[in-house]
Amino acid sequence: MTMWKRKLLDRLFSGSAYGAIAVMAFFLVIVIGPIFLKGIGAYLFEGTIDYRRMMLNQFNRGDEQALDVEWAEVKQERKIIYDALFAFEKELDNMSSSRRRELKPAFKQTKEAVAILLGPEPGTPLPALPRRLYGQTRWERAELKAKDVLFEESWDYSGAQGKKVMTPRAPLFKGTALEPLFSKIEKDLESLMRPERTFYPQFLTDKSIDAHFFGGIGPEVMGTIYLALGAMLIAVPLGVIAAIYFQEYAKEGFVFSLLRSCVNTLAGVPSVVFGLFGLAFFINTLRVSPGKSVVAGALTLALLVLPTVIRAAEEAIASVPRTYKEAALSLGAGKWRTILTVILPAALPGILTGIVISMGRAAGETAPIIFTAAVSVGPMVLPSEIFTTSTPALSWNLYNICTEHEAVDEIRHVQYGMALTLVMIVLALNTLAIVLRAKVSRKLKG
Amino acid sequence: MNIETPKGKQPETHIEAKGFSIFYGTQEAVKRVDMSIPKGAVTAIIGPSGCGKSTFLRAVNRMNDLIPNCRAAGELLVDGLNVYDAGIDASVLRRRVGMVFQKPNPFPKSIYDNVAYGPRLHQSYAKRELDAVVEESLRGAALWDEVKDRLNKNALGLSGGQAQRLCLARALAVNPEILLMDEPTSALDPKSTSRIEELIVQLKGRYTIAIVTHNMQQAARISDVTAFFYEGVMVEFDETSQLFTRPKEKRTEDYITGRFG
Amino acid sequence: MKQTEQFILSEADVRRRKFFTGLGQTFLFAITSVAALAVLAIIFFIARDALPFFSGSRTWAFFTSKEWYPTSATPKFGAAAIFAGSFIVTLTAVLFAVPPGILAAVCLSDLLPFNVRQVVKPVVEILAAIPSVVYGFFALVVLAPFLQDTLGAASGVNALNASIILAIMALPTIVSVSEDALQAAGRELREGSYALGATRAETLLKVVIPSAMSGIFSAVLLGIMRALGETMVVWMASGNAAQIPSPFYNLLQPIRTLTATIAGDMGEADQMTGSAHYHVLFAMGLSLLIFSFLCNLAGEWVVNRQRKRLRGA
Ligand SMILES: Nc1ncnc2c1ncn2[C@@H]1O[C@H](COP(=O)(O)OP(=O)(O)OP(=O)(O)O)[C@@H](O)[C@H]1O
Ligand SMILES: [Mg+2]
């Protein structure tokens, strides 16, 4: 091979290696980016007057008097719309039957779209579902729903793929009493909805109302905390003791290598199999709880993270300089005292790193808790109920509200908010781990 | 053998080896050593690298127990009791036989906690008492004035010489009778070395000190008696002045005149 | 002055001490055994609930038939298409992930300067830390519409979508384990090759990577295990149709995997613990378990062989 060919190959190879790193960074940005950008929207958004009314009614938050004043003004604005609807209904009765047949379906659609945009018409009986009690609470949703009032949506299947066609309704109702409604909504949507910059930190702690249409993700956050903490409470003592045994007591031999292989194998068990095991063992055999429960889920997750905890603790213990141990023993400390007073404290940052990483893992895992702990909707679980009650959890409910929810598209902001919250919890724990690890390596350097 | 302490009294034997051997697996690292280390004196152990000095020293407080398949034979008596007897409590033995290691090895704790570590193990002290013990030990190691204002700082911030004196203070704090030192100055600069040497001279009498060193001048300067080890065998054991000026053995002479090792 | 403490113990004391030390060690051993033997309990309980399924004709159909109608009046439990689905996404994901994974490992171990590496490594770690359900969510709301619009797939949730996400998830494992292997190959080896005038690419491709091959192999095995055992992503992104794509390499068709089937069906099946549907899901769990054991064994075998070779046997 000639020199320049070899050089070229070298360049190509290095280039593609750098490229691979770039690809990974790209994936990271592409996955986290949208979740971050849109997830913020659950906490920070333009809330409409309906949002503020909802908050006052459902959560008793906000300034009631100021809202009364504002609401009176908005009602005045909205009156034009309702007047138009009312007048047109009258008008409809007096129309020729063919014209009526032409306009009535479109009118009904319009009326429904208005009810979705602005909430139930004053004076009509209140609907049962909270989601129908208010108009659109978020400005970007209001803008979207306003389009449903203004346009008729239909699908054109003439091409290879269906194409959405938006036909304005206003021309159809030209000259009728309904006409002002369209121009009002088109031009004055802002004064109808009164959007205001809203910061909603309680999204993290509020209960959800009407299957996540309103409110926050408090029960899910709480459930995730229960499960992750519970799993660590079980896994850490077990794991650290096992690590001490492996590092300080066990002698090489058959038993040692058997236990070792068992731990290695445990690390390779697929997470959904842990779920099956939790169901078959903790619930159906040990009966730690009558059905799914926080405790059953925590036990299952504990097993899942156990190998990670053991390995991290072992590594940390092994990296404690031997001289510490010698010094302690030479002062007359027994083996157990040496472990407790010198080795474990020196290994602590390393062990903590492992614990924190495992905790992130436990918080994010879904498959093991599907059959052992998770429930799609439920109230916040009290500490006294952990042996009996299943709990919502961020990971499971994120799955649930983006696949099995009856109105997946309506609550995108909640889905993103939940994903962001979960990612932030896990990332915060991992950042903590990275910081801890940096501290350890600095310490070892002297 | 007739050894005289500087005061001229007939010395009392504190540590006595009788046909004492140590094996690593099948390799005999210390071979049938007989020697009596006198009470209150400084005993230097010299010899070329790998001759078993550390192994012997570490046998006295049974630090060799840490090494798997390390085994002892014969007798090693401290105050007339064989330390390898079944009934011996290694922790209590180690409390009476302190050790300072080659590299300073303070714990990653505060200076105070380092010194207080030993006392806390063996007894529960009131805060005032413990403060007194810590101060006394630090003074004993000539470190008090340098660290009294930063007792709660991490000991890993001390210089090498300071750290080694801290380790000495830590060993003194449990009030041992014997101090074993395995090349305590080999990792230190000359100035720190001479401070440690001064200390050793100050401490002798109160403590029985056994020190391993590669530095012949050091052995000559500070020790009362010297043992020369060669390939696991104790070749010669005599008063320091004797051994360095009129060695009886050819191998000793070759070693101290620098012909090998 | 000094109170001389007796350091010889009475025989009773010796016995007591032995007893307590023994007790302590037994306690440690017991706890460790619990932790380690959990895996045996897992095998036992999964097998216990799986075995009732395997009776005569059902076993044969399970592995060969494509008819998966677990809830019909006369249920059919042919899981061949589901096995194929797991196989297809795993294989594709690993094929996607291995080349960039190894290249990225090379870059981390040999190309990047130390301080840049300190920045890049957390990227790998974070990629590994993101919960799978979040990846699934991404697959569903970002990647699926994208695939639908650009590739004209009938549905954005399909084998390709799941494979891409699984590849992203397997990448960090492959990168970090391969990097360790490359690092372990050592400086001398590299310097030896450079000294002969080899370029960096030649050194890495002809000397370093071959000598790190066993480590890279275990990295790939771990990647396979990760992809095969992953549940949420395939459940959310693969479309969950129990069918073998036609032709089999048509990744734009939806498929269904073992893990997703277990996760999706157990919700209905656990109400009737003991039903054939319940047991067939455990049979799938057992299959997964056995496969991951085989991967583990293969990994250990390779590592042991390498260790022997290094010892010069
Ligand atoms: N842990 C061990 N396992 C096996 N052999 C050992 C061990 N420690 C020391 N040895 C061997 O025992 C012999 C004596 O070692 P020792 O450390 O006592 O020598 P030393 O005189 O202290 O040497 P140095 O002056 O270099 O410190 C040497 O041959 C050494 O290889
Ligand atoms: Mg030595």
CA of B121 to the centre of ligand 2 (A): 28
Q: How far apart are CA C135 and CA C89, in angstroms?
A: 15
Q: What is the mean pLDDT of residues C282-289?
A: 94
Collapsed DSSP state (helix, strand, coil) of residue C11: helix
Q: What is the pLDDT of residue C9?
A: 66
CA-closest residue to ligand 1 atom 26: B49
CA of B181 to the centre of ligand 1 (A): 16
Residue A128 phi, psi (nearest 5): -80, -40
pLDDT in tens, C202-258: 899 888 999 898 899 999 999 999 999 999 999 999 988 888 887 877 888 899 999
CB < 8 Å to C15, chain B: none
CA-closest residue to ligand 1 atom 22: B54
The atom of ligand 1 lying closest to the CA of B56 is 18
Give the torsion sign (CA, C194, C200, C206, C208). Answer: positive
Same domain, C18 and C117: no
State the best of C16, C17, C39 to mutate against chain A, taking most chain A CBs within 10 Å.
C39
The token pair at A95 is 């129309």
Residue pair B170/B114 in contact (Cβ under 8 Å)? The answer is yes
Q: What is the pLDDT of residue A421?
A: 96
Low-confidence stretches of chain A (pLDDT < 50) are: 446
Q: Is pLDDT of B7 > 50?
A: no
Q: How far apart are CA A175 and CA A362, in angstroms?
A: 63
Q: How far apart are CA C313 and CA A293, in angstroms?
A: 54
Q: How far apart are CA B82 and CA B17, in angstroms?
A: 9
CA-closest residue to ligand 1 atom 6: B24
The pTM of the full predicted model, rounded to 2 decimals, is 0.89
- CATH number, position C285: 1.10.3720.10
Q: What is the pLDDT of residue C174?
A: 94
Report the residue from C2, C5, C8 with minimal CB separation from B87.
Answer: C8
To the nearest whole angstrom, how far is the Cα of B175 from the nearest Cα of chain A? 10
Residue B55 near ligand 1, beta carbon < 6 Å: yes
Mutate to test the pocket of ligand 1, among B20, B21, B22, B24 (most ligand atoms within 8 A of CB): B24
Q: How far apart are CA A159 and CA A165, in angstroms?
A: 13
Q: How far apart are CA C101 and CA C105, in angstroms?
A: 6
Can the peptide bond before residue C247 be classed as cis, meaning omega within 30 degrees of 0? yes
Residue pair A40/C127 in contact (Cβ under 8 Å)? The answer is no
Same domain, C39 and C187: no
Residue pair A376/A404 in contact (Cβ under 8 Å)? The answer is yes
| CB–CB contact C5 B96 (8 Å) | yes
| CB–CB contact B87 C5 (8 Å) | no
The token pair at C160 is 């390709």
Q: Is pLDDT of C271 > 70?
A: no
pLDDT in tens, B119-157: 998 888 899 999 999 999 999 888 999 999 999 999 988
Collapsed DSSP state (helix, strand, coil) of residue C76: strand
- Measuring CA to CA, which residue among C54, B91, C1 is closest to residue A331? B91
Q: How far apart are CA B203 and CA A264, in angstroms?
A: 54
Q: What is the pLDDT of residue C312?
A: 62
Q: What is the pLDDT of residue C269?
A: 61
State the best of C116, C133, C262, C281 to mutate against chain A, taking most chain A CBs within 10 Å.
C133
- Measuring CA to CA, which residue among B252, B253, B240, C282 is closest to residue A276? C282
The atom of ligand 1 lying closest to the CA of B47 is 21
Residue pair B72/B64 in contact (Cβ under 8 Å)? The answer is yes
| CB–CB contact A327 B92 (8 Å) | no
Number of domains in chain C: 2
* Chain A residue with the nearest C-alpha to that of B169: A331
The atom of ligand 1 lying closest to the CA of B69 is 3
Helix (H) or strand (E) holding A168: strand A163-168
To the nearest whole angstrom, how far is the Cα of A282 from the nearest Cα of chain C? 10
Residue B63 near ligand 1, beta carbon < 6 Å: no
Q: Is pLDDT of C87 > 70?
A: yes
CA of A323 to the centre of ligand 2 (A): 14
Q: How far apart are CA B176 and CA B251, in angstroms?
A: 35
Domain annotation for chain B: domains and CATH numbers: 13-256 (3.40.50.300)
Domain annotation for chain A: domains and CATH numbers: 49-198 (no CATH), 218-445 (1.10.3720.10)
The atom of ligand 1 lying closest to the CA of B214 is 25
Same domain, C43 and C161: no
| Local confidence band at C200 (pLDDT 50, 70, 90 cut-offs) | confident
* Chain A residue with the nearest C-alpha to that of B101: A327
To the nearest whole angstrom, how far is the Cα of B149 from the nearest Cα of chain C? 30
Residue pair A64/A55 in contact (Cβ under 8 Å)? The answer is no
Same domain, C144 and C233: yes
Residue B26 near ligand 1, beta carbon < 6 Å: no
Q: What is the pLDDT of residue B56?
A: 94
| CB–CB contact B87 C9 (8 Å) | yes
Q: How far apart are CA A18 and CA C133, in angstroms?
A: 29
A46: DSSP letter:
E
Q: How far apart are CA C36 and CA A244, in angstroms?
A: 14
Q: What angle do CA A362, A366, A370 make, to 5 degrees?
A: 120
Same domain, C260 and C111: yes
Edge-first strand order for the sheet with B225-230 is B97-100, B178-182, B208-212, B42-46, B225-230, B233-239
Residue B170 near ligand 1, beta carbon < 6 Å: no
| Local confidence band at B114 (pLDDT 50, 70, 90 cut-offs) | very high
Block residue for tokens 């929810």: A405
Q: How far apart are CA C178 and CA C98, in angstroms?
A: 10
Report the residue from B68, B109, B170 with minimal CB separation from A331.
Answer: B170
CA-closest residue to ligand 1 atom 17: B54
Same domain, C46 and C89: no
CA of B54 to the centre of ligand 1 (A): 7
Same domain, C11 and C123: no
Q: What is the pLDDT of residue B4?
A: 45
Q: How far apart are CA A135 and CA A53, in angstroms?
A: 10
| pLDDT top residue among B260 and B193 | B193
CA of B23 to the centre of ligand 1 (A): 11
Residue B51 near ligand 1, beta carbon < 6 Å: yes
Residue B158 near ligand 1, beta carbon < 6 Å: no
Q: How far apart are CA C291 and CA B139, in angstroms?
A: 66
To the nearest whole angstrom, how far is the Cα of B17 from the nearest Cα of chain C? 18
Residue B213 near ligand 1, beta carbon < 6 Å: no
Residue pair C149/A8 in contact (Cβ under 8 Å)? The answer is no
Residue B57 near ligand 1, beta carbon < 6 Å: no
Segment 365-404 of chain A within 8 Å of chain C by CB: 365-367, 370-371, 395-396, 398-399, 402-403
Q: What is the mean pLDDT of residues C172-194?
A: 89
Alpha helix (H) ranges present in A119-174?
130-133, 139-150
| CB–CB contact C17 B95 (8 Å) | no
| CB–CB contact A323 B171 (8 Å) | no
Residue pair C85/C255 in contact (Cβ under 8 Å)? The answer is yes
List Cβ neighbours of A178 (8 Å cut-off, separation of 6 or more): A84, A85, A87, A88, A107, A110
Of C10, C31, C53, the position where a domain reaches its end is C53
Q: How far apart are CA B157 and CA B110, in angstroms?
A: 10
Q: What is the pLDDT of residue C5?
A: 52
- Measuring CA to CA, which residue among B233, B243, B207 is closest to residue B48? B233
Residue pair A151/A166 in contact (Cβ under 8 Å)? The answer is yes
Same domain, C23 and C122: no
Q: What is the mean pLDDT of residues C130-153?
A: 91
Same domain, C304 and C215: yes
Instruction: Kindly tell me the burial class for residue A202, based on how many C-beta atoms sit within 10 Å of its own C-beta (0-12, 13-18, 19 or more).
Output: middle
To the nearest whole angstrom, how far is the Cα of C31 from the nearest Cα of chain A? 6
DSSP letters for A392-435: --HHHHHHHHHHT-TTGGGGHHHHHHHHHHHHHHHHHHHHHHHH
Residue B50 near ligand 1, beta carbon < 6 Å: yes
Q: Is pLDDT of B28 > 50?
A: yes
Q: What is the pLDDT of residue C6?
A: 58
| CB–CB contact C7 B175 (8 Å) | no
How far is Cα of residue B61 from the mean position of the Cα atoms in its chain?
A: 10
- Measuring CA to CA, which residue among B102, B114, B101 is closest to residue B156? B114
Greatest alpha-carbon pair distance for chain C in Å reads 94
Q: How far apart are CA C162 and CA C92, in angstroms?
A: 9
**Chain C contact partners (≥3 CB pairs within 8 A):** A, B
Shortest-distance ligand to the CA of residue B30:
1
By residue count, chain C amounts to 313
Q: How many CB atoms lie within 10 A of CB C11?
A: 9
To the nearest whole angstrom, how far is the Cα of B93 from the nearest Cα of chain C? 6
- Measuring CA to CA, which residue among C257, C24, C89, C303 is closest to residue A244? C24
Q: What angle do CA C169, C171, C175 make, to 5 degrees?
A: 145
Note down the domain range covering C19. 2-53
ipTM surpasses cut 0.90: yes
Q: How many CB atoms lie within 10 A of CB C304?
A: 11
Instruction: Kindly tell me the burial class for residue C63, based on how many C-beta atoms sit within 10 Å of its own C-beta (0-12, 13-18, 19 or more).
Output: exposed
Antiparallel, parallel or unpaired: β B13-24 and B27-38:
antiparallel
Same domain, C47 and C110: no
Same domain, C120 and C148: yes
To the nearest whole angstrom, how far is the Cα of C29 from the nearest Cα of chain B? 19
The share of chain C scoring above pLDDT 70, in percent, equals 94
By residue count, chain B amounts to 261
Calculate the alpha carbon distances from C173 to A248, A400, C229 in Å.
29, 28, 14
Collapsed DSSP state (helix, strand, coil) of residue A122: coil
Residue pair A311/C36 in contact (Cβ under 8 Å)? The answer is no
Residue B29 near ligand 1, beta carbon < 6 Å: yes
| Local confidence band at C3 (pLDDT 50, 70, 90 cut-offs) | very low
- Is the CB of residue A310 less than 8 Å away from at least one CB of chain B? no
Block residue for tokens 């609470």: A137
